[in-house]
Amino acid sequence: MISFLDLQAINAQYRNELITACTRVIDSGWYINGNELEQFEHDFAKYCGTKHAIGVANGLDALTLTLRAWKELGKLQDGDEIIVPSNTYIASILAISANNLIPVLVEPDITTYNICPDKIQAAITDRTKAVLPVHLYGRLADMPAIIDIAKRYNLLVLEDAAQAHGASIHGKKAGNWGDASGFSFYPGKNLGALGDAGAITTNDDELTNTLRALRNYGSHEKYKNLFQGVNSRLDEMQAAMLSVKLQHLDTEIAHRRKIAKAYIEGIDNPAIILPSQQDKNHVWHVFVIRCKQRDALQNYLAENGVQTLIHYPIPPHQQQAYKEWNNLGFPISEKIHKEVLSLPIGPTITDNQVIKIISSINNFNQVS
């Protein structure tokens, strides 16, 4: 079986470097908020081209705490509307509702799967205070257009960059377009820790200070609490693992791009819709195809030794967690959720495996 993402094999490539880093942390006797975190925050900010990176416990906290910080700073208040794509992973939406803010779902463009700028404009009301674009599947949302709208309507922009480490438009990377950005380093992300971790990137000093306190019980100084904060820290061990993996991120992205190119050139089956290719800066967190007989295709590939996943099977508005939206219709999202299938594209997928996957997909018409 070709597995969708072989984390064991991915991390085995860096085994010696990871063990060295791990040993350094064990021997340091310092496990929270120390040099490893400082180093990783410095390196990751530099990678993204931002002034600051603030490590937190996971990607959901990165988004939730940024919105929370804007509330503490008086830039947002309860009941403000935040525009978010209707086909995102649920975390983007949870971050909004957890702060007593109102998620306003906006449909994506069917060719890029990213939020549609024209529809953002149509959804703006007097209560709209921010846009939360998601760089879904590793492709940057249309940030030039989104920033333009945000400027015109005086909206904050929080990028959900959890799937897009290293993606860029005109040389400007994910994490450096909005007022702030949330990243996840969940093990399966393009930059993955060996456990949970996340970060916020921003060029805003005041926001950075507030976030550094919020993640640490609302405190900069021990036993002095400015905010009713939380405990959401990126620990020294994960920071050390991430510093190792960051050095290999661009090589892994290049590998993903090579596989994507092979799929796009090799898959030639009228039943399959390939990802559109307008931009070369996609980092291919997942390689998503569409097929009307998606479930049959997934079963067929499994029978042929290829593991695939669905990102995502149920749209947020049809989840039980958001019962109040269950009667709403988001036809583009619904179509996407019914038809998408993600092919293996991880850093350890080989050329031979790609050839086998392509030929299996091209033979699919025989069973449909």
Which residues sit at the interface with ligand PLP, rule CB under 6 A? 58-60, 88-89, 91-92, 134, 160, 162-163, 184, 186, 196, 198
Listed as own residue / partner, the contacts of 113-120 with beta carbons closer than 8 Å and 24 or more positions apart are 113/87, 113/137, 113/139, 113/288, 113/336, 114/85, 114/139, 114/140, 114/141, 114/142, 115/83, 115/84, 115/85, 115/141, 115/142, 115/146, 117/142, 117/145, 117/146, 117/149, 120/83, 120/146, 120/149
**Nearer residue to ligand PLP within complex by CB, 184 or 308:** 184
Contacts of 169 (CB under 8 A, 6+ apart): 140, 143, 144, 177, 279, 281
**Nearer residue to ligand PLP within complex by CB, 57 or 354:** 57
**Nearer residue to ligand PLP within complex by CB, 134 or 358:** 134
**Nearer residue to ligand PLP within complex by CB, 115 or 297:** 115
CB of 367 to ligand PLP, least distance (A): 32
The span from the CA of 23 to the CA of 100, in Å, is 43
CB of 83 to ligand PLP, least distance (A): 15
Which one-letter amino acid corresponds to residue 123? A
**Nearer residue to ligand PLP within complex by CB, 115 or 207:** 115
Strand order in the sheet with 102-106: 52-56, 198-202, 180-184, 156-160, 128-131, 81-85, 102-106
* Contact by Cβ (8 Å): 332, 103: no
Q: What are phi and psi of 352, to 5 degrees?
A: -65, -40
CB of 62 to ligand PLP, least distance (A): 8
DSSP 8-state secondary structure symbol assigned to residue 311: S
Nearest to 237 by CA among 99, 34, 2: 34
**Nearer residue to ligand PLP within complex by CB, 163 or 216:** 163
CB of 60 to ligand PLP, least distance (A): 4
CB of 37 to ligand PLP, least distance (A): 16
CB of 161 to ligand PLP, least distance (A): 8
CB of 266 to ligand PLP, least distance (A): 27
**Nearer residue to ligand PLP within complex by CB, 89 or 287:** 89
Contacts of 72 (CB under 8 A, 6+ apart): 210, 214, 227
End-to-end CA distance of the chain: 22
CB of 98 to ligand PLP, least distance (A): 12
**Nearer residue to ligand PLP within complex by CB, 2 or 93:** 93
**Nearer residue to ligand PLP within complex by CB, 131 or 361:** 131
Nearest to 340 by CA among 303, 300, 299, 298: 298
The pair of structure tokens assigned to 72 is: 């503490």
The span from the CA of 290 to the CA of 339, in Å, is 5
CB of 238 to ligand PLP, least distance (A): 11
The span from the CA of 202 to the CA of 306, in Å, is 40
CB of 132 to ligand PLP, least distance (A): 10
Q: Give the residues across from 183 on adjacent strands.
A: 199
**Nearer residue to ligand PLP within complex by CB, 195 or 266:** 195
